[in-house]
Structure formats: structure tokens, C-alpha cells
Chains A and B, each alone.
Chain A
């Protein structure tokens, strides 16, 4: 069981910076993220891309920004639940929120910050009408246990690295592997493309290009897929599994069902005051929120986090007075006992 002052959903740059601002107010934070590492999109999608609009950084790589944030918040000892997606939220009688992840990890906190960016990254699903009906009945978007496919007939679709790599791998496991791709060209790593071509020649991979899987048939489980070929028309391919591998895309996911006011895939907040949502105690900061004039910029998210933390303080410490302090004056006192501060010296007498 994890207890904290502010439970932050989403460990991207904005969620991470909230830890720092909370730490200045002596509030502890815990972050949950569906990805296996902190940093959100910055680490997962574009770690090597330079960002030019972080104040005082003429240029910083997204990955370096995250490394720096991790360093900056370290004294405040944030907890992390990584590789798990926040699934449900419940307000307990004493006002505490209980948030449980898809893996059953329980978190308790008087305030929740949703800093989920564009959402959690989920497999992209091709537009096939029957797809959802066959999920876990032969349709899988992620290969968790390759043994599941031993001696089975597998159809993989997609043209990227994961489609190529898994086709190669499963060609030694499954009884039959078919790789269906829209074009006759693959854009994966050269090694993988060559290997697939080789396995196709030797008959270990059944390569079907210029084609797309358009339908799934079966009685309670996948029995065949319907492939539409550009010149040959419809092909019915018997199989036990259909694995579409089209990368990941962000989805708001379960948060959309938490009773929050949602507008165009974003959470409506009160930007005139504290970035609170329609549920008292839950705030939304960064790309996940919306309000008139909203800009989806990291720097705006930093501002939102700073403001929201001040109001979370009032919920966590009702009636307790405090004033915002400057780090130049007071330094930074971490929960780890470390104190960073400027050396006291007379700079200039007045």
C-alpha cells in the first residue's frame, strides 16, 4: 500500500516538476506511469529531439530535460509505480482518494494530480469491425509469451520493426507465420528486412504484400482472417492467431471514466484559479487539461503544476498558514536531509 500527499498520474516533465514544487512545501509525491521509465513522451518518443522553448535553455534534448528534472526532484524522494496504468479511482469516507492500477497496486492520497499528457500509450488498432470481439480470443496486440504461439498458425500485420522482428522470431516457434503488409516495401532495420526476405524465400514466412487484413472470422475464437489483396482480391487465410502490430498511440484510457468533465479528449480545469477539475481534490495539469487559451507546452505545464501545488497544500493542511518562498533565499531542503543553498556573503553594502 502506497500513501502520499499528492498522487501524480503521469511521470512526464510536468508531473515530475510538480514533485519539486510540492517538495518546497514539504509535500511528498508519488508518480504512476504506464511506461517503464519516467519522462513520458520526452523519453519514449523523442528523447533525441532538441527543445528550444524551455526558458533559459537555448536548446535541450528532450531526454536531457528529463534527466535534469530527475536530478532536480531527487532530494524530494518521489515514489514511482512504473509500467502500470492508473485504472480506478475512489473517494473514501475520510476524503482520501484510492487509486488502483491495472496490476492491482493500491495508492492513497488526499489529492490527485492528473498529468497524463495525451494519455497512456496503447497499441494502435486497425479498423476491422470484428477486431474487438476477438480480443484475447486469438487477437493480440502485444506478444507477452511467445510460447502461446507454439505450433499455431499466426498472421501478423504491419510493416515496422516489431512486425518484422516478431515474424522472424515466431517463424521458429509457430507452425506457420504469415506477414501481411500494405506495401511491397518494409521500412524496418535493414537486417530485419533482409532476414524476412530470406525466410520468405525459404518458405518459413509466408509474405503477403500489397494487402491488408480486413476481416476476422471464427466461432468464439479466430479461425481465419480475410485479406484484401490489391490485385488478387479477397483471400481467406486460416489461422489461430491474428497479431496486428501498428505501434502505439496515446489514449486517455480509464481516466475518461472517472467522472471528470472532458472536452475534446482533455480534462476541463479552472484555469482562473488552481487547475482543479470538477472533482474537488483532483487537479489536472499539462497537456491533459484544457481551458480557454490552453497551450500544450511543457513550460505552461510547469506553471500549472506550481499553482496547483499551492492549492493542494490547503487541502492537505487545512487552515495551516504558509507563504511561497524563494529558492534563492531559502535554498532547497530535501527529504533526504540534504540542503542546497547559496553561501551567505555580503555582495554589496548599500
Chain B
């Protein structure tokens, strides 16, 4: 297993090219936290807070949304057609080269 590369555009528009391990059972939310990007991950990854909402910019084929993710996105703000919850996207080799953008923080 090797690392993959994921590009994440933060809320200031800065693009971070991150090396992500595929063998640590991590997801995109955890990757952001590991690199200290401003993602709260309030619920710990249970698809219950949408603080890790991101927009998928590249045309990677992603696993379909499960009910919990759909439910949460229904209650989230700034949701677009390409919105996903980072915590529901496991880091796998298929995601190599993925480009995403962090959604705005929903609460001030």
C-alpha cells in the first residue's frame, strides 16, 4: 500500500496537496484534521454534523452516499450537487488525485 495524493482547497482558496495513507483506515475529514486544515469534525465522523462538508471538484467515481450522509446533507447549509461529507469518504487508492474544496462553515 502506498500513499495517494489529494488536493484540498481551503476556505481562503489555498490549495493543499496532501499525501494520504491508504492503510490507516482514514477518511477525508480525518486527513484534513491530521494536516490541521480548519475542519472541525464535531461529531467525530458519524455523519451527524456536516462540519466536514466539501465539494468534489475532480471527476473521480466515488462510493454512493449512504442514508446517514444523505440525511445530514439534507439538514446542512451551502449544499451543492457535488457536496459530500468528508467523514464518509474513505481514503482508498481509487481516490488518488482527488480534488476537493472545503464548504463554508455553516455557523459563525
Contact = CB atoms under 8 A, between A and B. Distances in A.
B107 A183 contact: no
B67 interface: yes
Given A182-B79, A250-B42, A45 B48 contact: yes
B102 to A, nearest CB: 15
A90 to B, nearest CB: 28
Max chain A C-beta neighbours (<10 A), residue from B43, B44, B70, B74: B74
A169 interface: no
Interface in A235-253: 246-247, 249-251
B75 A158 contact: yes
Nearest to A46: B46
Nearest to A125: B107
Given A125-B107, A127-B106, A160 B74 contact: yes
A183 B42 contact: no
Contact of A160 (B44, B48, B71): B71
A260 to B, nearest CB: 20
A19 B94 CA distance: 49
Contact of A49 (B46, B74, B77): B46
A187 B76 CA distance: 13
Nearest to B106: A127
Contacts of A247: 75
A125 B78 CA distance: 12
A159 B48 CA distance: 15
A246 B75 contact: yes
Contacts of A49: 46
Contacts of B95: none
B89 interface: no
B49 interface: yes
Contacts of A159: 74-75
Given A158-B75, A249-B42, A124 B106 contact: yes
A187 B71 contact: yes
A46 B77 CA distance: 22
Interface in B22-52: 40, 42-44, 46, 48-49
A125 B75 CA distance: 10
B74 A182 contact: yes
A293 to B, nearest CB: 14
Contact of B77 (A160, A246, A251, A265): A246
B42 A187 contact: no
A296 B30 CA distance: 14
A249 B43 CA distance: 10
Contacts of B71: 160, 187
A141 B75 CA distance: 14
Contacts of B107: 124-125, 249, 251
Given A124-B106, A187-B71, A249 B49 contact: yes
Contacts of B75: 124, 158-160, 246-247
A296 to B, nearest CB: 8
Interface in A132-160: 158-160
A5 to B, nearest CB: 32
A118 interface: yes
Nearest to A251: B107
B67 A126 contact: no
Max chain B C-beta neighbours (<10 A), residue from A249, A250, A251: A249
A126 B77 CA distance: 6
Given A124-B106, A182-B79, A187 B46 contact: no
Contacts of B48: 45-46
A46 B70 CA distance: 18
Given A124-B107, A125-B107, A249-B107, A118 B74 contact: no
17 contacts: A45-B43, A46-B46, A49-B46, A118-B42, A124-B75, A126-B77, A127-B78, A127-B104, A160-B71, A160-B74, A182-B74, A183-B74, A186-B74, A187-B67, A187-B71, A249-B107, A296-B44
Interface of B: 40, 42-44, 46, 48-49, 67, 70-71, 74-79, 104, 106-107
Given A127-B78, A160-B75, 7 more contacts: A45-B46, A124-B77, A160-B74, A187-B70, A187-B74, A246-B76, A265-B40
